[in-house]
């Protein structure tokens, strides 16, 4: 099963790819099983082929998070275990190994990957990279000056300018 986005709506079903002159011109459709159609143009079809954005297409991993939700390619997952800080990452297909992997960006900006099956029952889907672009880099960006620890307020001091003026112009 696949999913793809058209406008603000996600559609789920079989994937149909129509080849274009170049790969960038390929078009993608999801045969959405929830939108059954039958009309004079599609008397035997039964499913609506919804055009979707190419970059939004993601395949189901066949696995679920700890809440039972199906995990798709490009989902963002949060792992909470052993009372440690949560770990965030995205779901990607590893072409070299031929399986789904959980990919994170560590605090050094480098990518770490582990097999998706190792985080089953500990991860929760918190979004996806299509609806939340740039989510992972933001999590690991260094604090801006405004977000750093606030400094202790300084005690008021006498105005040095006034003191100097008084010294230069005695009464």
Residue 119's pLDDT is 79
Cα 86 to Cα 124: distance, rounded to the nearest angstrom:
11
Contact between 80 and 88 (Cβ < 8 Å): no
Q: What is the pLDDT of residues 60-91, one digit of tens each?
A: 999 999 899 999 999 999 887 776 778 888 99
pLDDT band at 152 (very low <50, low <70, confident <90, very high): very low
pTM metric for this prediction: 0.69
pLDDT at 124 > cutoff 50: yes
Task: For the domain covering 59-142, report its CATH number.
Answer: 2.30.30.290
- 110 phi/psi in degrees, rounded to 5: -95, 155
Q: What is the pLDDT of residues 5-44, one digit of tens each?
A: 999 999 898 888 888 887 778 888 888 666 555 555 555 5
Q: Where in the chain is the domain with CATH 2.30.30.290?
A: 59-142
Contact between 116 and 97 (Cβ < 8 Å): no
E-state strands within the chain: 2-6, 9-18, 27-32, 48-52, 58-64, 70-72, 75-79, 87-94, 99-105, 111-115, 123-128
Q: Can you tell me the mean pLDDT for 104-129?
A: 81
Residue 49's pLDDT is 81
Residue 166's pLDDT is 44
Contacts of residue 142, Cβ cutoff 8 Å, sequence gap at least 6: none
Q: What is the pLDDT of residues 91-113, one digit of tens each?
A: 999 989 899 999 887 666 677 88
């Amino acid at each position: 099963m696949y999913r793809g986005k058209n406008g603000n709506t996600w559609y789920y079903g079989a994937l149909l790819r129509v080849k274009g002159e170049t790969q960038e011109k390929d078009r993608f459709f999801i045969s959405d099983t929830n939108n059954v159609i039958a009309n004079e143009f599609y008397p035997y079809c039964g499913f609506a082929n919804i055009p979707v954005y190419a970059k939004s297409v993601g395949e189901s991993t066949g696995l679920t998070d700890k809440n039972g939700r199906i995990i798709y390619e490009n989902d963002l997952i949060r792992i909470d275990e052993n009372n440690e800080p949560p770990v965030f990452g995205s779901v990607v297909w590893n072409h070299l190994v031929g399986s789904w992997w959980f990919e994170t960006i560590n605090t050094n900006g480098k990518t770490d990957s582990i097999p998706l099956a190792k985080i089953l029952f500990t991860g929760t889907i918190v979004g996806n990279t299509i609806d939340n672009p740039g989510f992972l880099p933001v999590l690991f960006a260094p604090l801006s000056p405004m977000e750093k620890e606030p400094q202790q307020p300084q005690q008021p001091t006498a105005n040095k300018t006034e003191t100097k003026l008084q010294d230069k112009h005695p009464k």
